[in-house]
Amino acid sequence: MNPFDQYRRNVARVGDLLNLSQKEADALQTPDRIIEKKLKVTLGGKAQELSAYRVQFSNARGPYKGGIRFHPKADLDEVKALAAMMAIKCAVVDIPMGGGKGGVTFNPKEYSSDEVYTVAREFVREMHEHLGPDIDVPAPDVYTNAQIMGIMLDEYEKIIGKSAPATFTGKPLSLGGTPGRDTATAMGGVFVLEAYLAEKNIEGKGLKVSVHGFGNAGATAAQLLHERGFIIVGIADSKGSVMSEKGIDPNVFIHIKNQKQSIRDMYCQGSVCDESKLQTEGVTLGEADDVLTMECDVLIPAALDGVITKEIAEKIKASVVLELANGPTTTEGDEVLENRGIPVIPDVLANAGGVTVSYFEWIQGKTGRAMKRTETNDLLKEVMSVAWSSVSKAAKEHGVPYRLSSFVLAADRILQAKRDRGVL
């Protein structure tokens, strides 16, 4: 089942719960516009044509919003599914933006920064008429970053002949970026987790947390939870995992990652590991996926999609799963967790802190009013806490898991906007 098939499956379940008409169901599954271009660039000294996409899924609630990814496997089906999920995500946290997504099919890791920037500028040249602060507002995604957004903004402003900082979010601070955007995904997830625990009357301090994926989102989440008294018992990157019942200080491993090393390098040089140090610190090394099934209270998949398969879900020992990654749980895995009574706080809510702070940056770009990090985080906490309350309430009303209640809530908001516009 590809990502868009999974999205359509959730929409079908929503249709049954809300008794949607075929027209309403179709409105949730049909993108407004699919834009396909060929970018003509010179890479590695050779003229190439790269496939580029921008899917504008729904602007019923506001301008299209979503990232641009540079990835060798980026294709139309993937981008369409991600655009649909962005529409859902924005509606779940109730910000006035729609859903969009973009992609260029190439591997930026194989080229110089200047060559990657050339691709970024060519993307804007080909897509600029479909972009704008009141039309479509891109942001960073896989293998793109703040610098690339700055390059894209520069190219866009050259084309239109005026300043337009609200056209892109996730920009460098010097170009109108918002302090707090760098930690927003993880911070938003932590706020949702805290709201969940408060509702269940569970004390967070002392809970054991396992984090699969130690990139920006996973590492920052581990750091924030460690500061709050949670015990980080497992972390993993692409090279392996570090686990300890005594607890792990994520700050030590963040330092290692900043040196472009693997977390295992704390204890090993190549295949030779310091067994004495491992024993003294009570640390066990393993494969990356070992942290998915270890003993813990909170499991945070924060890396790749599709890692919680049916087989993995059957072995999970966590009491709750907080999805910081996009689509980390397969449909079959979701069914197993539901049957086992393990709640999943879904990606469309758990990792929506990023798009929420992008919304703050969009406002900043339109008004010129700068925000401080403390203000960003205070507003983010308010938005995520209210969103959790709404998702939890919908789950109780319909007797469904949080993923489905998130879709119910979002679908109802999107369809109501279409009704109010008279287009449904």
DSSP H/E element including 269: strand 268-269
Which string of b and e fits 2-17 if b means at least 16 CB within 10 Å?
A: ebbebbbebbeebbeb
Structure tokens at 350: 């758990």
Residue 228: predicted pLDDT? 98
DSSP secondary structure string, 104-171? Answer: E-S-GGGS-HHHHHHHHHHHHHHHGGG-BTTTEEEEE-TT--HHHHHHHHHHHHHHHTS--GGG--S-
Answer whether 178's CB lies under 8 Å from 375's CB: no
Alpha carbon 258 to chain centroid, angstroms: 21
Domain ranges, residue 151: 31-164
- Kindly state whether residue 241 falls inside one of the protein's structural domains: yes
Taking the C-alpha atoms of 331, 85, 156 and 130 in order, what is their torsion angle to the nearest 10 degrees?
110
Residue 109: predicted pLDDT? 92
Residue 376: predicted pLDDT? 97
Q: Which of 80, 89, 101, 171 is catalytic?
A: 101
- Which residues partner with 46 through β-bridges? 43
DSSP secondary structure string, 343-373? Answer: -EE-HHHHTTHHHHHHHHHHHHHHH-----H
User: pLDDT tens across 390-407, in order?
Assistant: 999 999 999 999 999 999
Residue 213: predicted pLDDT? 96
Of 164, 199, 227, the residue that ends a domain is 164
- Kindly state whether residue 189 falls inside one of the protein's structural domains: yes
User: pLDDT tens across 60-77, in order?
Assistant: 999 999 999 999 988 888
Number of structural domains the chain divides into: 2
Strands 136-140 and 64-70 turn out to be parallel
Residue 158: predicted pLDDT? 98
Are 341 and 205 in the same domain?
yes
In degrees and rounded to multiples of 5, residue 270 shows phi and psi of 70, -125
- Kindly state whether residue 149 falls inside one of the protein's structural domains: yes
- Token pair 């709640």 is found at 343
Are 219 and 295 in the same domain?
yes
- Kindly state whether residue 60 falls inside one of the protein's structural domains: yes
Q: Is 46 a catalytic residue?
A: no
Residue 261: predicted pLDDT? 87
Residue spans of the chain under pLDDT 70:
1
Are 333 and 212 in the same domain?
yes
Residue 6: predicted pLDDT? 87
Answer whether 52's CB lies under 8 Å from 39's CB: yes
Strands 46-58 and 33-43 turn out to be antiparallel
Are 55 and 114 in the same domain?
yes
